[in-house]
Structures are given as C-alpha cells and as structure tokens.
Structure 1
C-alpha cells in the first residue's frame, strides 16, 4: 500500500513523521524541474513546505532530496519554501492541498515520494497526468 488512508496520514504526523506528495513537472522546456510537497511536524505546529528541484534523475537515481534546487539563487540550506503553518494535522493537510493542488488520496510516507518520481520517469515524464493515469 503506497498511498496512506487519512487515518494513517494523521497518525504519522501525530507521531512526528512527515508525509509527502509528488506534484509533478514544473519549469520551462530548457530547464525542467519537479515539485513535491511535505507536511512536517514541528514542536508546536505542522509546516507545509513545497520543494522545487531540477529534474536531473533517471530510473536508477530518484532521490529527490539530492537534486539541486531549480532556482539557482535558492540557498541549498533553505531548500523548500514554507507555504503554510497549522496547529493540527487536518488543517495542515487542507492548507497543503489548497496551496499546492495536492490530493488527499495521494499522500505517502516520508521518502516514498522518490518512488512516485521513479514512476513519473518510467512513464516518460508526462506533463498532464500522474503515472497511474490520474490528472
């Protein structure tokens, strides 16, 4: 089971574990990138971060955290843009979905977003749908 049911998403966040979602391609044809969103628990809240990386991967290299930022001016230590903060997991998920277009049924555990990227690469990097056919 790759995608987490909502109860598992909330449970992971309450246990201090981030959840992520692959959002797909971004950028111009001459400089392709990919985006993913992360909901990250902190001591007092839940933060929503959007990561935009240069699409430098292939079937054997899909570790998105190793990809360079798409924006060359972005400081590597600040990779990922904070887009929302919430006091509870449900509100954080709703904020992530509103800010990024994420879908409730497609959240995965931390680091599983690499598998999503791998599927994207194997599907030929489609611009209009997810590798499993969803928009």
Structure 2
C-alpha cells in the first residue's frame, strides 16, 4: 500500500516517523515543514532527500521552512491539507515519497496533482 489512510499516517507519527509534506514528531508535538527543493530528479534519481534545497535570500541552503508546531498529529495533517494543499488521500511514509516523485516525473511534471 503506497498511501496511508489518516489513521495509519497518525500511527506513523506516533512511532516517530516523518510523513512527507513533512510532518515529524518533536518534543512539543508535531512540526509541519514545507520543503522547497530544486526539481533536478529523473528516472534514475528520485530521492527527495537528495534534492538540493532552493537557496535562501541570505545564501544559506534551505532545509525546509517550519510552518508551525501543533500538539496533535491530526491537527498537523489538517493544517497541511488546508494551508499547504496536501491531499488527504495521499499521505505516505517517508521512504515511499520518492515513488510519487518518480510518477510525477514520468507523467511529464504536470502543473497540478490530480485530487
């Protein structure tokens, strides 16, 4: 199964795993992070973590922009859906997100992901 239903996504968060937009557990609850990376992948390279981040205005490497920290996993999922356009039927574990990226590239990098 590639995508996680909400209950499985919440279970992954409780086990300390990141879910890509990225939502990851922190001592205060869950942090929602927006990654802005250069789209330089191809069929032979689809590792999201290996993509270079877009440089910040100060010239430093961008490793993701923290959007917020919330107390509950469900709140983090909802916020990512409402504020960042994450699709509620497409949550996946960190190691599976590269497969989605590969599908996106094979589809010709369409402007919008089907909802």
Question: What TM-score do you get using the length of structure 1 for normalisation?
Answer: 0.78
Q: Identify the residue that residue 9 of structure 2 maps to in structure 1.
A: 9
Q: In the TM superposition, what is the alpha-carbon distance from 1:5 to its structure 2 partner?
A: 1.1
Residue correspondence of structure 1 range 28-67 to structure 2 within 5 A: 37-67=21-51
Q: In the TM superposition, what is the alpha-carbon distance from 1:50 to its structure 2 partner?
A: 0.5
> Aligned equivalents of 1:95 and 1:75: distance in 2?
27
Q: In the TM superposition, what is the alpha-carbon distance from 1:72 to its structure 2 partner?
A: 5.2
> Aligned equivalents of 1:43 and 1:95: distance in 2?
19
Q: In the TM superposition, what is the alpha-carbon distance from 1:100 to its structure 2 partner?
A: 0.4
Q: In the TM superposition, what is the alpha-carbon distance from 1:7 to its structure 2 partner?
A: 1.0
When the two structures are aligned, how many residues end up with a matched partner? 114
Which 4+ residue blocks in structure 1 deviate beyond 6 angstroms?
none
Q: In the TM superposition, what is the alpha-carbon distance from 1:39 to its structure 2 partner?
A: 0.5
> Aligned equivalents of 2:92 and 2:51: distance in 1?
19
Q: Cα RMSD over matched residues?
A: 1.5
1:88 equivalenced with 2:64 (yes/no): no
1:75 equivalenced with 2:72 (yes/no): no
Question: What TM-score do you get using the length of structure 2 for normalisation?
Answer: 0.91
> Aligned equivalents of 1:115 and 1:64: distance in 2?
10
SS of the aligned residue for 2:101 comes to helix
Q: Identify the residue that residue 105 of structure 2 maps to in structure 1.
A: 121
Which runs of 5 or more structure 2 residues have no equivalent in the other structure? none
Contact 1:83-1:99 at 8 Å conserved across structures: no
Contact 1:46-1:88 at 8 Å conserved across structures: yes
> Aligned equivalents of 2:97 and 2:106: distance in 1?
14
Q: In the TM superposition, what is the alpha-carbon distance from 1:103 to its structure 2 partner?
A: 1.4
Q: Which has the higher strand share?
A: 1
